[in-house]
Amino acid sequence: MFTQCPTERSQRIADSVERFVRDVVMPYERDPRCADHGPSDELVAELREKARAAGVMTPHILPDGSHLSQRETAAVLKRSGLSPLGPVAVNTMAPDEGNMFLLGEVATAAQKDQFLAPVVSGQARSAFFMTEPAEEGGAGSDPSMLQTTAIREGDEWVIHGRKKFITGAEGASVGIIMARTGDADHVQATMFLVELPNPAIRIERLIDTIDSSMPGGHALVQIDNLRVPQSSVLGEVNEGFRYAQVRLSPARLSHCMRWFGGAARADEIARAYATTRKAFGKLLIDHEGVGFMLAENLIDLQQAALMIDWCAGVLDEGLLGTAESSMTKVAVSEALFRVADRCVQILGGMGVSRDTVVEQIFREIRGFRIYDGPTEVHKWSLAKKIKRDTLGAAPRG
């Protein structure tokens, strides 16, 4: 009901991904190699080997290197998200999915061979080094607060700074570093590509967070005297903020797609429980309080699916989709959290235990309300747009 497949090829790919996730990936959900900071590299490699054998590795990128449309991608990534391990197994997980999109749009041919190809094949993971420690006044939702610097010295750039909440940094082979290259009065940024590990990039610690689905966890990183050649610049110097926007809208939407699958899975489990478990002489679903929660899940999931499809259509038209992706990210993250929360409530004691995957899905989606911009920041940005559009409109009689 919720997954629209706009083309025959997207239907075929999505169906193959769903079969693989249900039949092969879900049995791994209780594997002890799924730890607090994500599945181990050993488990990731094992799952990806099986994904290759099943023909579902990096399913949103076709053999000729072209990318499915965003509406087609939505159909596929929703299915991959039916398990927290699904996107990891089939290589649709953040930050790799967003980094692949960015590199595909901006990187040179040589950079694609060196940095993009290993990530697309699933042989390597990547990390995007942008967020900085808030306690040190670094960049978070406001990129203009960027403190990491890159200074040109001859044919090299020297990068210094600290980064925080860098997803997947531990074990990554490819890094994209955002650093400040403008002067003190004019904030500009440049993106740099770097092979990992690198002795100048030191992981201080992995941060304990509410979620646990992303390989490599979320790291606090010190970058000290990192020297990279001019050929490491991604795109053009001082265009980092513009390239971040190229990555941002599709990455926000991909989060919506993946976590939609998780919420739909939690709803499946809650439905099955409510239609088999009895209390006070009748099935749980026949108690109005439970039945209404499942009805509300149905409504929220359908609305979320429509928002995702609408925003995907905007991006497929070639538009940047900044406002549309903000609206979608807010609406979908809040709706999916309501769904996951209701599922926990319906399951009762089982919902707060790890006897089902619902507890993890709840935690993952709670993080989603913050990742790629908190709800409140997106609303604030939209309010500013409303003000601009309204004050800039012609007077009405």
pLDDT by residue for the chain (397 residues), tens only, comes to 566 788 999 999 999 999 999 999 999 999 999 999 999 999 999 999 999 999 999 999 998 889 999 999 999 999 999 999 999 999 999 999 999 999 999 999 999 999 999 999 999 999 999 999 999 998 888 888 999 999 999 999 999 999 999 999 999 999 999 999 977 677 899 999 999 999 999 999 999 999 999 999 999 999 999 999 999 999 999 999 999 888 888 999 999 999 999 999 999 999 999 999 999 999 999 999 999 999 999 999 999 999 999 999 999 999 999 999 999 999 999 999 999 999 999 999 999 999 999 999 999 999 999 998 999 999 999 999 999 999 987 666 5
Query: What CA–CA distances, in Å, run from 295 to 285, 299, 338?
Result: 10, 6, 12
What is the distance between the alpha carbons of residues 141 and 376, in angstroms, rounded to a whole number? 10
DSSP-assigned beta bridge partners for residue 199: none
Dihedral of alpha carbons 138, 139, 144, 146, sign: positive
What token pair was written down for 338? 């309501």
**Residue 207: which region, alpha, beta or left (left: phi > 0; alpha: psi -120 to 50)?**
beta
- Give me the pLDDT at residue 245, please: 86
- Give me the pLDDT at residue 141, please: 83
- Give me the pLDDT at residue 352, please: 96
- Give me the pLDDT at residue 163, please: 97
pTM (2 d.p.): 0.94
Helix axes 322-347, 240-274, angle to 10 degrees: 30
**Domains, the chain, ranges and CATH?**
8-93 (1.10.540.10), 126-237 (2.40.110.10), 241-392 (1.20.140.10)
Omega before 250 within 30 of 0, i.e. cis: no
- Residues 6 or more apart whose Cβ sits within 8 Å of residue 231: 110, 111
